[in-house]
Each structure stands twice: as C-alpha cells, then as structure tokens.
Structure 1
C-alpha cells in the first residue's frame, strides 16, 4: 500500500541532496540508508536502481521507493513507503497473482502442445506422455517432435520444434539431459511460451542446468520441472494429461502440487478409487520455476478447485508460502503432506533458542500459523480430503462415539482422546437412548448400543446423539454380526439429519474392511468409512483444528510505539564493523538494541575494573546482581557466573574476586544490575534460519528452560493473534495464565515482548539469534535482566520477489 512518509522540516544552511554533500547516494553515512528495491530520481532525471532509501528521520518507516526533485533552488522530497506488513504483502501478492495466473495458463490451459522427444517405443516416457495427451481427450492441437521424423501414434512427427507449422504454447521435453539446453533455446526462439521438462539428471550438472535457465530467462518462458511427472488439468474445456502416469484424469475439485512424481501417480490412482479427483495436478520436480506457491495463486482464483494438496520435500520460499498459504486457507482448505526433517539440518545449539528450534518444529510452526492442515502420510492426506469432500466442518472439538461393539467403541474413544478431541456429556440424548436401547446398553459417551439391535434401531441411536447439542461430531465404529449390519443405516441417518438442517460431520469405522477408506452414500449424503479408528480420529482432529483456525480473529501486525529502527540499524552497523564475520554482540550493544525496540531492559552497567564496579554500585544503590562478562561464555547461571543480592561493598568485592578467580583469563569484567521484582521467568528468543527467516520462540525460562521442553514457535511477521496463541499453546498455560494460575501474571506484557522481539528480528535481518532469558513477568509488567544477540552480515531480502532457482 502506498502512503506518504512525512519528512522532517528542511534545516537552514544544510542540504539533503546526497550529490551536493560530495558523496554517493548509496553511502550509509548520508541522510539516507541503503535498502533494496528503491529508485532515486535526481534533478537531472538520473535513476539509481537497487539503492532503496530510508531517511534517517523516518524511524521505523520503511521507504524503499524515494524520489527527490530540485527546482529553482528549492528542495522537494517525496517518499512512497512500502512497509513490509499486511497491506504491502497484499498489494504485491495481488499484482503477482494476476501476472502469475496469466503466465500459468500457458502451462495449465495451453491451446497447443508439442511433445519433444516423442518416441515410437511404447515403453518410453516420450511415447507415454504423447499417448496420455491423445487418449485423455485434450481439446487443443498436438504435435510430435522426433529427430528421425516418421509417424508416431497417428501423428506426423517433425524433426525439430523449428519445423512446426506454428509455435506451440507448451512444449513437453522428454529428450536426454545433454540436449535439454539446446532444445529449450530452440523452443524459446520458435515462440514457445512454457516448458514442462520431464527429463531427470539436470540439476546435478551445473552447465546443463544453467543453460536451461538461461534459455527460460532469455525468452520469458514458464518452466515446470525438470525431473517431473508433468501436468494434469481435468477442466472439460482443456482435458490435458501431459504425464506418464497410467491413472488417467479423475475429475473433481482437488488441486495437487507435488515434488515427487511417484506421490503424484499414487494420489491420482487413490483419488480415482475413492470417486474423487483433481482439478489440476502439477509435479514440480526440482522446482526451477513453477512451485507450490504458484499453484496457491492459481487455485485461489480457480472456481473448480475446492481444496489444495501439497507434497513438499523442501520450501523454496517459506516466507512467501506463509503469506500465500494464510490467505488461501481463509478461502479454501490446504492440506500439506509433511516430509521428514533430517537431524543433520539442525543447527548446533548455541543458545537455548537454537536448541528449541529444529527443522520439523520450524515446518510445523509454519503450517500452524497459516491454517494449513499438516498430515504425515498418504493415508492421512486421503482421509482428510475425503472428510472435507463428504462432510461439513465441525463447529468444535467435542466428539461422541456410538458403536454396536463395546471394545471397538473404547478403541475409537482412545484414538479420539490421543488426537486431542474432547468428549461430550450427552445429557439431552441420554433419556431418549434409555427408552430406545436394551438395559445392558451403555448410555454414556462412548455409547454402546450392544450388538443385538437391528440396523434401524442403531441408525435411530446415531441420529439421537447427532442432534445432541453437546456433540460437534460423531464417530460410529460398527461391526457386522449375524443379526444385522448397522453400517447400512448410517448413511440413511445422515441423509435424514441433513434434510432437517443438522450438518454435523459423521465418520464411520468398519472393522475388517480391506480398504483404508471407502464411503457410504444415501441421496446427497456421503459418509466416510475408515478401517482404522486411529486414522478417523486423526482426520477429524485435523479438520477440527482448521475449523477452529477459521473461526478465530485473524489478528494484525500492530504498529508498535517507542521503536527507533534507525538507531538500531546504526548499532548493528557499528557492531559489524568491529566484527566483520559476525558474533555475539557486547552487553552495551545488546542493552541499547533491545531498548531501541521498547523492550523493558533492566538498567545495566558494564564494569571492566573493580573501581568501576564500586562506582556503579554507589550509583545504582540498593541490592544489585553481578553477572560475569567472560570471553565465549553464554550461559552465565549454569556456569556459576551470577552473584545475587550484593548489598554491601564487602559483598561486591567478594563477588568480584570470586568471579575473576572462577573464569581466569576469560574474565573481562561484570555486568551490574539492580535486583528486580520477582516473578515467573520466561524465555523469549529468535533464530533466523537462512531459508525460513526469523522464528520466535517462547517457553519457560530460567532453570526451567533446561528441565521442561515446553515451548511454542511462530515465524515473523508475528500478529497479535499469533503471539496470544503462542502463550496458550504452552502446556503450562493453565497454571500460568488461566483462572487456576498460581500467581497473577500480565499476559499483555508477555505478548508485547513477543511482538517487539519479532519486529526487531524482522527489521534487522543481521540478527541471527536472540536469547532473552529470563524475561521476568509479574502482575504489573515484564523486565528483561539478561539478553544475548548474535549478529551476522546479511543483505536485506524481500521474500515476495520471485526468482528462478539458478
């Protein structure tokens, strides 16, 4: 969003034009700071690209597009601010969405397709792709390209793309890797608008990969792959199956993007078997260009797509994914099949924060923050898709279980409890069930109707429970007996309830069925039937969590007062001048940094001599704490580097002597602070991962940090909703913030610390790690007596700017 930046008044006797100051407009010591993506327009009309500017007087305002005009000796300055917040992201994303959808039409809805490398051998990939396009009923024009010419599947094969009578919109490349760059160049020169590169073995050969990307860039083509299955679009106006899958084109409303071609084939086959299908499917392969982010943009505007499914082995641009997935999830459900995170990818634990962040925790925080439904295997992905396709979203997490076999009902109840679902007390249903069921039936949740009842009575029991307002969903484990098969009545029951306006989800579990998931249908009602109660419970819990995410307010990234980002940038720049390779900032720099973001740091005095410590002690007055300042030491308390309750000069001298003796040559002095009001100790930290960006962590602090792994995580930018949810995700939250809290704590104070710490990490990309431990929280606020910040030289980066991989 464009909005004005308000400059300070021009001061007499000075000029703000960098050229008149005798130094470059890029210089950090001029009135502007360099930021990426801006333009400077001088009085001569010169445009200086790549030198986005931030005025020193603009505070936290981010102004990456600045125009300066000089006329008749007067000075005029106009600033257009593109703040890195929700309005900015929305505008950039809307612009890209229009452009991206237009360019993806060449991949997903081409008017003509050429298969380059089409072979006469039926077992070849090129032959299979051509066969699928023809047999799938593609509505456009198809060309076969084979260097030997001839006839392939009834088509005259052209020897080269340059010999085609017209440039095809899409070319599918099935040629050997060593010819890919040359063929891609020929395609671009001929006027091809998009490529699907099925060929593998390109990424590991830099010369070939660079040649492919160079051709794509030169001719402005979109690229799917390389090393991919291909693309499917089931739209009757297109009917494109440019893959080598044997599954055909099952048509329905699920959009699929997968890095793995094998996962794509499996999903096509399994969805078809369930009576479901895809709107579009793309296999992104090595993701040189088209990615899951692109498909989110496409599906969001595609009315045929009701839900999106992603299998990602890696996040190419996770911060962009975070923004796009959050917006997509507000409109349609998004299911993400999580892949395993390698332990070797975990950064060495250099602080409590780093120890709390692993690749899997980062990924899960990203999904939780965006509302995406994370699943762990194909069966769970299909279970969630089936549940979303055939049932409505639950209003809450309260579940009731109705079964004709007591043991099966108990297993289902255990599975629901382990999945985090809540059990209802069926007060309204109990009297009706008592009048309907035999005396030996169990009327409490889980309800056991006994195996002796007929299907109609069982169906009536399910209907009674379904109408009880205490239940948000009903799980129905059934067992066929010689007396009856109660499963037959479940779909009819759901159909009647739907006709009367009751749309709660119902999931059946039929023990012994060979298929993991099937369905029962009656009229317009369709009920998912699982073979395993655990899978049913996991699917219901995942969908309930999504429904809860939808129902909560979205929150916002707030404008925080008392932030001096310009001063903070100066502090970081000065610190990195002194340690060009990066490292842990000194105590004075850390104190100034957190104070510049409005964080309530406990006043500190850095003392390098005993005399300086005595002077600081007299200045602070009262009881103080001594914290050692030692080379390479991070965890002071654990190493015996903290002396509490220093109340006299004798205490001070004794503490100084003890710390100096303990740390020897590493001893640099002490940091002295006044004792603060006691309270509950928390950890608030940040770890800035190269791919994911800054992640904020909150958990129990002080000595509890090492004893209890009770932490919550989110990626920046952090919204008010994110920060509040982080606190209530802690297992200890009821004892800390609820009505049963041991002592009154200021929830607002902790939320404020989280938001300000996140904003610091967002505005200062050079911050690699933050460790605020402890943050002492009491009823009246929060104080930070100890903080560590690690800096690394980094260039600012805009995660919304799209890039080819190479």
Structure 2
C-alpha cells in the first residue's frame, strides 16, 4: 500500500538572498526530476555526498530515494519552478535517532537552502519521535559541517576512520529559536530590499493613451527620475511616453529586476511565468479582478502567488497602489499616486490602494517625508510583517506606520513588533475595530478576538495603536523629529490662559502630569517665549514641553519660531512640541533645515490644537515607558510537569474527535497547582459527609456553570451539620430540580476573587486573559489579555491592565494581596497554554487572591485535537 503523503509538510520559503522556493516531501513521480537534478551536480558535490565518484544514479537507487514511508524514511526536496534544486533526507537508525544527509545543486549553494531544509526535516523528525540526527561528513566538507553547527541545536562531533561524525540534539532551545528567527529576518528583509531597490523596472500593460493604469505607473516612474532603465512592454507600440517599448518581457535586451503588471487579471498568470524566465526578481500587480471579485477571482489570486513563489518571486498586491522608495540613489515611484512625499524618516505600509493615495498626500502636506512606501492591496503575498523585517534594519527608516485592514499572522506580528519596537516605534491604525471584519479579497482570516483583546496584544508588543489616521500622523511627526520623553511630567508655555487650561485638562485626561503653566500673556514676543521655554527645559521636574503660540493679532511669528528652535536645541533630550498659529505639520519656520527635503532632527512639530499635541505626546510617553521596561523572554516549554501533562492529554484524546472535557485538577497537578475539591452532593446528608471529610467550615454552591453565574447561588461560612442542611435545602429549592450542588471547604482567608482563562485562538494561538471575579467587573468586561507564553513582566502588566487593579494593591480600603503569587499563576497558565496546543480552553474560576497566597477554587479544561500547526510555530514558511 502506498505511504500516506503528508501534505502539511509542504511550504513556500524565503531563501537567504530574498528569493523563494517550495519545500515538499519527495514522491515516486519525482524520479526524472531527481535524475535531472543529479546530472547538474559537480563532481565535488557528488563526492562529498557519497564519499566517492558516482557519475549517475542507478534505477534502483532512484527508486529507493524517491520511495519513502514518510515515517522512518523521509526526504524533502526544494524546487524552483519545475526543477529540484536540493534534497535532504533522514533514515531511522534506532528509536529516537536517524541519519541525515543533504545535497544542494551547486548553482544554488550559498542561498540558505540547506539551512531551511534542515529546519523542516527536524520538525518532521520530532513529529515522529526522533530527537537526534547523526551525520557522517568528510573533513573537507566544511559547508555541510557549518550548516549542522549553525542550526542552533546542541551539536557534538568526533573524528574516526577518516570521517567526522556529528550528532545534533533536535530539542528546541533558546539558541535554535534565535537562529531560526535571525535567518527568517535576514531572508524576508532581503526579499523586500530586492523589491524596493531594483536596478531596472518593466511596466507591462502601459497603454498608448494617457489615463490608463499602466500608463500612469510608467509616467510616475519617469517623473520621479528613476535611477535605472524603465522598460515599457506593449505588443504593438514601439515607444511609450517617449521611451522605447518592447513586445514582451523576454524581448527586453537588459536585465529586469522588478516588473509592474497592469494587465487584465486573466493574463497575469502567463506573464508571471514569462517574468520568471527573464530572471525578474519581484512583481507589483496593480491589476484588479482577483480576490476582491469573488471565489473565481480568489482562485486566480491563489494561483498567482503559487506560481510566483514557485519561480522564486515575491508579489506585492494584487489590486494595489504600488511601491515607492525616496532614496536618492533609487528614486522609485512605481505607484498610481502622482504625489510622493520627499525623502523622510518614516516607512509607510498601507493595504488599501484607494486610501493610500490620500495618505501620501496628507504626509506631503505635513512636510514629513517618507523613506519608503508599500501598498499591499489584497496582500496575497507581501504583508506588513515582511515590511517590519525590512524597516527594522533600514537606516533611512526611524518610524514605522502601518494602516492595517487585516493581519494575516497576528502571532508573528506580535513577535516581530515586540522586537522592532525596542529600536523603532511602530504606529498602527487597525480598521474594523468594532466588526473585526476583513475586506473582500484579503488573503487573511477575520480575527475572532474582542477589539479590547487586540489592543492588549498591541500593548504587550510595544505597538502604538491610535484611533485614526490624523492621530497616526500626529504621533509620527513627534517621533520622527523629537527625542523620547523620560517621563510623564509636562510643562506648558502659552500666550493664552484658555488654551493653556485646555492643555492641562488634556494632560490629566491622558494620564500625564502637567506642571503649573507659564502664561506669558497675549503680547508676549520672541524673547519671552525663548526665556520661558529655556526655563521649562532646565527644570528637572519637566520631561516635555508643549508651547502654545496663538497671538490675537499678527505678531512676529518668524522671530518666535527662531527663538523656540534655538532654545529647543539645548533641550537635553526633552521633546518640544507646539501649537503654532493652529497650523499642522513640520512648518518651515520650526524646521532645522527649511531648505532641505527633510526638516531635520530637532525640528518642532506643530498641531492644530493643544489637545491634539497632548494626545500625541501621551502615546509617545507610554511608548517610552514600555521601552524602559527590562526585556524578558518567556520560559521555553519542557519544564517540570510537562511530560506528565502531555501523557494525560494524549490519553484523553485517544480515538476522540471534537471537544473533550478533562479533569482540570488532574491536568493542573503536574504543574504544582492544586484545585480545591468540590464534590457534588445528591442529598443534604451526603453534603454533611463531604464536609466532614473536607473539613469545616464549608460552602455550598451551584455546580452548574450557568446556574453559578446567577447571583445568590453560594452559601458561605457553614460551620456545622444543621447549618449545612438548612443551606442545602434553601439552595436546592432556589435552583430547582436537577441542578447539582457542590460542597467545598471554606477558604481560610478573605481575598479578592479573580478569574484566569487560556483560550486557543485559530489565528492568534494561545491567549491568556485575567480579570476580577466580581459581578460588576464581569458585566463591564474588565479583562486584560496577553499572548502566551508570558514572561514575569507580561504577567505583571496583565494584572495592572484591568481598571479594577487598584483593589489588588491596597487601595479603596482593600488590604494588599499576594500579587506575586498571582503573577506566578499567570505565568504558569501561559506556560501550560503554550506547551499544550490541544488545550482548547482552561478556566480558573474563581481564584481567590488573599494576603498570603492564591487559592484555585474552581477549574475547567477542554481539549481538542489541533487542526494544524499554530500560526508562527515550526520552521520558517510563508503563509
């Protein structure tokens, strides 16, 4: 019987040079493909693999190599187009151990193919219980030894009988995870760099007359004075816009790095293949008629991406505005927008093509400038995550702006932004906050999370989430040109009492700490403003200064601006922002370099009103505070109790489908968490027997989840049999027949009731939530959320994120409770959720947080067989 083909091992991957390849298990039908691959190998590559010359593979060898069982014998191949370019395989030697070998075509060596194949093969090995690879390597084969050593796994080697035997422990470690993330970062960054820094551009679909999509892109490229050659492609025209045209991409007599496709959707597929034959390295598809049109268009879109990736190309779009790079050495405007801002410090990603034009226009109006811009349209391939990888290392980009209508891999987004935000602020507008809907055509699922949960996850990752585009630009201009504040203390210098009061009120509302304002009066001139600003900046009790200049009659604005700039230069790292005559943006008068394309670092941003300035400052203050927190890494799975818990989960799910409820107390016990027992009593006499066994005093309560949610379904402090019988009878009459009643020992100390949950979300992975158990808190939805696993710092911030958190810290007459023990329980819950992908839901409710510790009074756990790997888990792969 033929072996089951594991289709879930297939993946598109990005290589070290930014190109793409397809990884999949080998099949018997690959026999001729294997022979062709082998015929292109050098003698040295063959010698290193087989330890001797082997001009060709025999039929028997080909059959053996292409026929595997996908369990004890596994082989993965990498293909580009129709050709195999690499193969890796393991053969099981004994339980837990297999021999590994790989071979890469000489023309593709050095592109990181072997490294990514090793990642994927290690994952398949662990899937089948193999935890160790061994490889015999000739001492001269330094490339293979380097791949094995640099994988990040624990590696050992010994020399004997003329070969080096290397042993790799495949247990994931912090080092192996860091290696994987670093390789992913370099590869995806390079793939975007290839798109944004092409040496030449072909525009396919430019019409003869003005106004068409292709013609618009062509004219915008030429108007921007693109640094390389531009090649219009038209079947009949000999020239377009005064530039020589070519009948096809393959007819172009020079190299083509980037192709912009503006043809009807039906013709895109063949053009992708043609571009691949030409050696094009990236595509921008501005054409519509794909996923946004319905199922047929979605199929066309999926095929576009599949073919492009299989031939080594990344795709921006389809149905997009295009891409731009303001680097003076590139000058790329491959968009439909005639107005591209000047060179600046901001990288800008937008999904909507129509909105992108407006956004670029507004950026230009503010005189901010951009470093680069990408409109992803339906984001079938290139996404915001890819741009984060690129902008993290791009020296021209200091602030990252994202307008997101969907998030394809939220878990990866959180991982990347958590790292990137430490170096460069990420400011996000996420549309669909109330509906969490996804525009038609986007290659991304809808997020089944409350919007408050999404905001919490952004906060955990250091992302600055703003409500609208105006706020996004307000925050961006402050981040791009002023330093981060050291704290929330705000000085206000104003020539208007009323406007100063508005600024103070806005500070208090935003959680900032305003200092007493300096009111200069309506007649104040440049000298007064300069002296006041200098004084505020010199004050150790001030972290930032808002200057309000709104003269009732025209004054010498230029002199005031010059004085402000002069004094702000000595700000000692304190940001200065202004409401300067109600004007918005980076004004020439407040710019360090008013004659240049970029205003210059230290330029003072201006806002239409004091409230808008303060609102932007508040976002930046919170971001600066997040950066000051120590960087902590969550614990890696596999700690105490993990193996026992996994055995319990495996046994519970054996032969089962759908949701399976498991005894939560048994599941939590290996992790050291005790759930107080609450046996169900069928009669009052049985309740007394249970109380005698558990110990007095006790409580009786509804054991049904729905009934327990109603008020008055708990009787507390029952100290003897008679009181218990009366309480049981009263509660039984209240609940009605058939509702079970449980008996539980009374907690020995008073405390604050809380609830902790861990839920497996299909698009996000495991999410831990926390809130207080009081009825009011539940009704108001006062809950915080964090992605699992949680670091100690994550747990601390989760506790403080809820509005009712002061009740845990000794405020409003409550005694302070054991927040440290609560924090440890949250970390443990996050660890369980991370280690057990089958844990569909875990509820700890209620958790009593007392002065000396926490007590888990109730718990429920539901398991489910995972439908596939978690997002952002496993080896590198494109969505």
The two structures share one fold, judged by TM-score above 0.5: yes
Matched, 1:695 2:767: yes
Q: Closer, same or farther in 2 for the Cα pair 1:488/1:543, shift >3 Å?
A: farther
Tell me the residue number matched to 2:317.
225
Q: Closer, same or farther in 2 for the Cα pair 1:453/1:133, shift >3 Å?
A: closer
Q: Closer, same or farther in 2 for the Cα pair 1:179/1:676, shift >3 Å?
A: farther
Tell me the residue number matched to 1:476.
547
Report deviation, 1:334.
1.4
After superposition, residues 310-709 of structure 1 pair within 5 angstroms as: 310-343=402-435, 358-424=449-515, 445-482=516-553, 484-485=555-556, 488-499=559-570, 502-513=572-583, 515=584, 518=587, 520-521=589-590, 525-558=602-635, 563-577=640-654, 580-582=657-659, 585=661, 589-605=663-679, 616-630=690-704, 633-634=705-706, 636-638=708-710, 641-650=713-722, 666-667=738-739, 670=742, 672-673=744-745, 675-706=747-778, 708-709=780-781
Q: Closer, same or farther in 2 for the Cα pair 1:103/1:650, shift >3 Å?
A: same
- SS of the residue corresponding to residue 526 of structure 1 reads coil
Q: Which runs of 5+ in 1 are unaligned?
A: 1-22, 27-37, 70-75, 347-356, 425-444
Tell me the residue number matched to 2:250.
162
- SS of the residue corresponding to residue 783 of structure 1 reads strand
Q: Closer, same or farther in 2 for the Cα pair 1:558/1:763, shift >3 Å?
A: closer
Report deviation, 1:398.
0.7
Q: Deviations over 1:144-196 (max 9, x none)?
A: 11233432112332222233335522211111112222222222233322111
Q: Which runs of 5+ in 2 are unaligned?
A: 1-68, 73-87, 101-120, 133-150, 158-165, 439-447, 594-601
Q: Closer, same or farther in 2 for the Cα pair 1:264/1:394, shift >3 Å?
A: same
Q: Deviations over 1:260-280 (max 9, x none)?
A: 123332332233333322221
Q: Aligned equivalents of 1:345 and 1:257: distance in 2?
A: 19
Deviates more, 1:43-52 or 1:324-333: 43-52
After superposition, residues 193-212 of structure 1 pair within 5 angstroms as: 193-203=281-291, 204=294, 205-212=297-304
- SS of the residue corresponding to residue 162 of structure 1 reads coil
TM-score by length of 1: 0.82
- SS of the residue corresponding to residue 411 of structure 1 reads helix
- SS of the residue corresponding to residue 461 of structure 1 reads helix
Matched, 1:103 2:191: yes
Q: Aligned equivalents of 2:693 and 2:260: distance in 1?
A: 76
8 A contact 1:626–1:644 mirrored in 2? yes
- SS of the residue corresponding to residue 754 of structure 2 reads strand
Tell me the residue number matched to 2:359.
267
Matched, 1:306 2:398: yes
Report deviation, 1:40.
6.7
8 A contact 1:508–1:529 mirrored in 2? yes
Q: Aligned Cα RMSD in Å?
A: 3.5
Q: Aligned equivalents of 2:250 and 2:505: distance in 1?
A: 65
Report deviation, 1:639.
6.3
Report deviation, 1:723.
1.2
Q: Aligned equivalents of 2:808 and 2:318: distance in 1?
A: 51
Report deviation, 1:738.
5.4
Report deviation, 1:395.
1.0
- SS of the residue corresponding to residue 43 of structure 1 reads strand
Q: Matched residue pairs, number? A: 724
2:229 aligned residue (141, 146, 164): 141
- SS of the residue corresponding to residue 503 of structure 2 reads helix
Q: Closer, same or farther in 2 for the Cα pair 1:536/1:219, shift >3 Å?
A: same
Q: Aligned equivalents of 2:859 and 2:476: distance in 1?
A: 46
8 A contact 2:758–2:766 mirrored in 1? yes
Q: Closer, same or farther in 2 for the Cα pair 1:345/1:699, shift >3 Å?
A: farther
Q: Closer, same or farther in 2 for the Cα pair 1:65/1:516, shift >3 Å?
A: closer
Report deviation, 1:636.
1.3
Q: Closer, same or farther in 2 for the Cα pair 1:462/1:749, shift >3 Å?
A: same
